[in-house]
Structure 1
Amino acid sequence: MTPSSACLYSGPHARSIIVGFNGGSVAFRPRLEQRSAVASQSPVLARVLALSVAGLLVASLGLLAPSGWIPSARAATTVVDTSMRTEAEIRARWNELKPTYTGTPYVVAPRVVAPYAPGETTAAFRNDGLKMLNFGRYLAGLPSDVTLTATRNLDAQYGAVLLTKEFSHTPARPADMSLEFYQRGYASTSSSNIGSGYSDLESFVKGCLADDSTSNVDRVGHRRWILNPGMLYTGVGYANSRLTNYAFDNSRPSDAVDYAYIAWPSAGLFPVEFASQSVPWSITLNPKMYDWDTTRAGHTATLRRVSDGKTWTFDAADTSTAGEYFNAEFGGYGSARNAFIFRPKAADLVGSYKAGEQYDVTLSGGIYAEGTRTPVAVTYRTSFCALSGATTVFGAPTIPGDIPPPFPSTRFSGTDRFGTAILASKAAFATGECDAVVIATGMNYPDALSGAGLAGVANAPILLVSGDVLRADVKAEIKRVTQGKASYKVYILGSAAAVTAKMETSIKNALTGESVERFSGTNRYHTAQLVAAKVKALQGASFGNKAILVPGLDYVDGLLAGPAAFTAKAPILLVGTTADAGLKNTLKSLGTTDLVVLGTTARIPVAVETSLKSGVPGLTTRRASNLTDTYARSAAAAEFFATASNGFGLTWAGVGIATAEKFPDGLGAGCVEGKLGTSLLLTKSTSLPSTISARITAHKDAIKSVRFYGSVSAVSGPVETLVRNLLK
């Protein structure tokens, strides 16, 4: 809702109605008069009912309140992925954010009788509440940088004072309270999580995250507001044990958080201190990646304790808030408008969740890949750890073999393409393993495509750069893989138009012991030829007779060739629609007799093969795939390179999945899969093509691990789920 939009907030106890937010001001009218006025301006009235509960109230909102005068902020994209965290990392973050203040709440105590005054809380008191909010967001994988603003804090103080007169999102105006004070207080109470009976803000926020009362478990609205991806600013208020926490902020840009789902407890390690037996589980799906049936029936959640195989199955029949419970809720708490909520019967947990326990979670039924009716399921494992004490140990199941482990899978998802390449490097290369690194621009593909063969023969990662200064994280990764080496090579792919001269200087200044060698041809084809010559030179007499030819005007086939080139230490050459003398001379110099061509005949015409064979003595060519459909060609190429008789050394023992819609993630995938000797398949970002699913199914008995490259915007959560389901 924009600041000038009109809307109606009313409740069963309301005496007035907020009818508009205009630059932060609100106007009040008697209920009947204003209802008519609003109806005349808009064909739809947005009505929000206040929900009264003991101790906590949640704003039950069908739409978001405006952020008022707080400007929208720009931020780097945060990828929600909690699966790879360590207990040490969680404990370190807790030590940064755990509440520590024990003093008085007030700088100036509020007046809760006429003449009313908002008062002011101490900064340390407020910050403890904010720290708890940010730690909750951290546990869910969301940006944990929400900040307080002075205006929101003051608004919240007005709201807290008003709550001392009536504990409701829509309290009536006390007879002795000025209209101005009431308006500001009402604007706060009707847009906040509110609480009563707490002596500090952090306990209140933790209670909101738990959301475990019988009055709230059906929607976990407090939790969903705190875990709203769009939250960036908030304010907190406190007066005589009444609390407000502004919840409607949606200032963070919609593209700043990349997630498939938001879970509580989250996937991966999760501290048991935030998961008592009464705390419900919840999963909120990203509407950009999933569709769902908006009915309570038809959805199913299962929770399986790994240690003994105890399994709970939740569905619409589980309606007891005092026992086993399930609900699918589609109200407007935050921006995603969905939550699938489930909770075992407390007696079944034998006390509570315990550190060292692991639970497999599956949400299925009535959930589809976005824009389709293709059913998908969400699956993950939650492992309970502790915020203090001895390191948590996760034991084997007490019934060996009864509970199969989740299919081994890994997602390499950095904050950007450069970070993803670093994660791929860390997966493929041990500390101090490398005598070289390969550097390519992350902004365009041609020069980087030829790097896989060079990386294979040099046993080196391909790392991406841009601009004129070497990033600190790329520098750190170069130092890690070359640790302990007195000297090592840095191979730069492309001219100064691709990797700038200033970047080369920055690399030299940042490192010690490096020897830089640049491959800079007159064009992309010439650069690939220079790299190919280096591939042969590094191998000497052991150099084979193979090379791979891919189109120079597209990246898909070059990505598909990457693992094979790495494993076979074979050069990748680029070609256009004609074969020039430079390519022929390079093939002669290499002594190539087995040229594998990968690409459509539109990209690499048959005439190119004919010309090369006539111009290069002893040359034979094989077309790995010329299928016009990208994904069918991906499947066929993977099959070709994994066929032993073709001599490239790949197998179906594992598989990498990367998007065909962008090039950067596939570059790192080539090194990892090549190092492992396994296959790479390219997919659509938001759906799994039938040719890819068929290939996975055909080799499911052989595939023992799967790796996904890039964030969920590159390879979506539903695609990951479909792949994992195929491999069960």
Structure 2
Amino acid sequence: MAIADEFWKQIRTNLPVSTTRIAGENRYETAIKISQAGWKESAQSVILARGDDFPDALSGAPLAYDADSPILLTHSHKLDPNVKEEIFRLNPQVVYILGGDVAISPEVEQEIIDMDIKTHRFGGADRYETSALIGAYLPSSDTAVVANGTKFPDALAVASYAAENAYPIILTKQNEMPKASAKLLKNYPKSLAIGGTAVISEDLFNTLPDATRYGGADRYETASIIARELNPSYKAFVSTGLEFADALTGSVLAAKTESSFLLVHPEKMQDAVLQAKEDLGIYHFTILGGPKAVSPSIETELQGVK
């Protein structure tokens, strides 16, 4: 086995790095393209999240993976016709709605019900309660992921790994664990704290159960550390680290295809990303979003073209 591994290490350094891009005209269309790539025939269920704001969606990836469901995006008060068409194509038995009535209105839910599809809403009084409701719905595990709920990058950097392992993503504030989050966390003997002290303070970290921190100097390094240390693969999904939508909807497909996940700046390559590429020997990148999300120059650098 060791000989085979060594042989593969030698071979992979000579393999050309390839890229594919999954992209639509906007985040709603990109989510549809991701859904079509991963669920070609149908899906038992669909996760529906608000497309223009992140809080209620941050904990959705483990739920989506557990239910083998794509994540689609919606406007708060109206279901995009193309999204509605994709739900119709998938023919799910249930649509899981992330967030309360302010995030996704009862009118949107009624549109789904009118399609003769059941709905199940995870809607708490705030993002922390919503996160806890989602986490409580997941199968039991011994580990929880803890991430800052006021910022999206760290939760999304770990989303595909958490999803693949059925670990809930429990949201926190920098210095204080909200009540709903603290209550759910009591069920888990171990935890992973995502991000540095600017997002999870040392004092708060010290209160977490048997915690290990995975955090870099910025969002890109944090995602790179997670990929290298927790979720290594020769394949990786890549999305912009400046917006949440593509990382959210792509995280489930990354988990489904056993791929690592990296965040990039749209225009400027980060050393941490190249380090992860080298350390993991990544030979294929799936880029999420159009050229404004991840520029052609970044794609070229990922390919290693000079």
| TM-score, reference length from structure 1 | 0.39
Corresponding residue to 1:443 among 47, 52, 55? 52
Aligned to 1:508: 113
Aligned to 1:606: 202
Q: How does 1:620-639 map to 2 (within 5 A)?
A: 620-625=210-215, 627-639=216-228
**2:100 is equivalent to residue 495 of structure 1:** yes
1:529–1:583 contact (8 Å) kept in structure 2? yes
Q: Deviations over 1:555-597 (max 9, x none)?
A: 0001101111221122111000212332221122xx3112111
Aligned to 1:715: 294
Task: After TM superposition, give the deviation of residue 639 of structure 1 in Å.
Answer: 1.5
**2:252 is equivalent to residue 671 of structure 1:** yes
Task: After TM superposition, give the deviation of residue 405 of structure 1 in Å.
Answer: 9.6
CA distance in 2, matches of 1:607, 1:725: 42
Corresponding residue to 1:586 among 179, 184, 189? 184
Q: Deviations over 1:370-420 (max 9, x none)?
A: xxxxxxxxxxxxxxxxxxxxxxxxxxxxxxxxxx99744211110110000
Task: After TM superposition, give the deviation of residue 469 of structure 1 in Å.
Answer: 2.5
Which has the greater radius of gyration?
A: 1
CA distance in 2, matches of 1:634, 1:405: 24
1:669–1:680 contact (8 Å) kept in structure 2? no
Task: After TM superposition, give the deviation of residue 603 of structure 1 in Å.
Answer: 1.3
CA distance in 2, matches of 1:714, 1:688: 13
CA distance in 1, matches of 2:130, 2:218: 28
1:468–1:506 contact (8 Å) kept in structure 2? no
Q: Deviations over 1:518-558 (max 9, x none)?
A: 1111111111000101113xxxxxx3212111001100001
Aligned to 2:240: 659
1:456–1:565 contact (8 Å) kept in structure 2? no
C-alpha spacing 1:663/1:571, structure 2 compared with 1 (3 Å): same
Q: Secondary structure at the match of 2:223?
A: helix
CA distance in 1, matches of 2:192, 2:201: 14
Large movers: runs of 4+ above 4 Å = 404-407
Q: Deviations over 1:180-208 (max 9, x none)?
A: xxxxxxxxxxxxxxxxxxxxxxxxxxxxx
Aligned to 2:135: 532
Aligned to 1:473: 82
Aligned to 1:558: 155
CA distance in 1, matches of 2:15, 2:87: 34
Unaligned runs of 5+ in 2: 1-13
Task: After TM superposition, give the deviation of residue 481 of structure 1 in Å.
Answer: 2.6
Which amino acid in the other structure matches residue 454 of structure 1? Answer: L
Task: After TM superposition, give the deviation of residue 675 of structure 1 in Å.
Answer: 0.8
C-alpha spacing 1:405/1:481, structure 2 compared with 1 (3 Å): farther
2:236–2:259 contact (8 Å) kept in structure 1? yes
Q: Secondary structure at the match of 2:233?
A: strand
Corresponding residue to 2:36 among 421, 426, 430? 426
**2:27 is equivalent to residue 417 of structure 1:** yes
Q: Secondary structure at the match of 2:242?
A: coil
1:491–1:516 contact (8 Å) kept in structure 2? yes
Aligned to 1:690: 271
Task: After TM superposition, give the deviation of residue 631 of structure 1 in Å.
Answer: 1.7
Task: After TM superposition, give the deviation of residue 713 of structure 1 in Å.
Answer: 0.6
Q: Deviations over 1:317-373 (max 9, x none)?
A: xxxxxxxxxxxxxxxxxxxxxxxxxxxxxxxxxxxxxxxxxxxxxxxxxxxxxxxxx
Which amino acid in the other structure matches residue 284 of structure 2? Answer: S
Aligned to 1:539: none
Which amino acid in the other structure matches residue 459 of structure 1? Answer: D
C-alpha spacing 1:405/1:679, structure 2 compared with 1 (3 Å): closer
C-alpha spacing 1:653/1:481, structure 2 compared with 1 (3 Å): farther
2:76–2:103 contact (8 Å) kept in structure 1? no
Unaligned runs of 5+ in 1: 1-403, 537-542, 613-618, 643-650
CA distance in 2, matches of 1:624, 1:465: 32
CA distance in 2, matches of 1:691, 1:467: 36
2:228–2:279 contact (8 Å) kept in structure 1? no
CA distance in 1, matches of 2:235, 2:128: 32
CA distance in 1, matches of 2:197, 2:110: 42
Which amino acid in the other structure matches residue 228 of structure 2? Answer: E
CA distance in 2, matches of 1:640, 1:496: 38
Q: Deviations over 1:124-163 (max 9, x none)?
A: xxxxxxxxxxxxxxxxxxxxxxxxxxxxxxxxxxxxxxxx
Corresponding residue to 1:571 among 148, 168, 179? 168
C-alpha spacing 1:405/1:602, structure 2 compared with 1 (3 Å): closer
Q: Deviations over 1:21-49 (max 9, x none)?
A: xxxxxxxxxxxxxxxxxxxxxxxxxxxxx
C-alpha spacing 1:405/1:557, structure 2 compared with 1 (3 Å): closer
CA distance in 1, matches of 2:76, 2:206: 41
Q: How does 1:53-132 map to 2 (within 5 A)?
A: none
CA distance in 2, matches of 1:504, 1:406: 46
Q: Deviations over 1:198-247 (max 9, x none)?
A: xxxxxxxxxxxxxxxxxxxxxxxxxxxxxxxxxxxxxxxxxxxxxxxxxx
**2:120 is equivalent to residue 522 of structure 1:** no
Q: How does 1:368-407 map to 2 (within 5 A)?
A: 407=17
CA distance in 2, matches of 1:629, 1:407: 26
Q: Which has the higher contact order (CA 8 A, sep 6+)?
A: 2
2:46–2:95 contact (8 Å) kept in structure 1? yes
2:146–2:194 contact (8 Å) kept in structure 1? yes
Task: After TM superposition, give the deviation of residue 479 of structure 1 in Å.
Answer: 2.5
Task: After TM superposition, give the deviation of residue 472 of structure 1 in Å.
Answer: 2.2
Corresponding residue to 1:457 among 53, 66, 89? 66
1:440–1:448 contact (8 Å) kept in structure 2? yes
CA distance in 1, matches of 2:198, 2:184: 23
Q: Secondary structure at the match of 2:304?
A: helix
Q: Deviations over 1:255-307 (max 9, x none)?
A: xxxxxxxxxxxxxxxxxxxxxxxxxxxxxxxxxxxxxxxxxxxxxxxxxxxxx
Aligned to 1:292: none
Which amino acid in the other structure matches residue 581 of structure 1? Answer: K
CA distance in 2, matches of 1:547, 1:698: 27
Across the two proteins, how many residue pairs are aligned to each other? 292
Q: How does 1:75-224 map to 2 (within 5 A)?
A: none
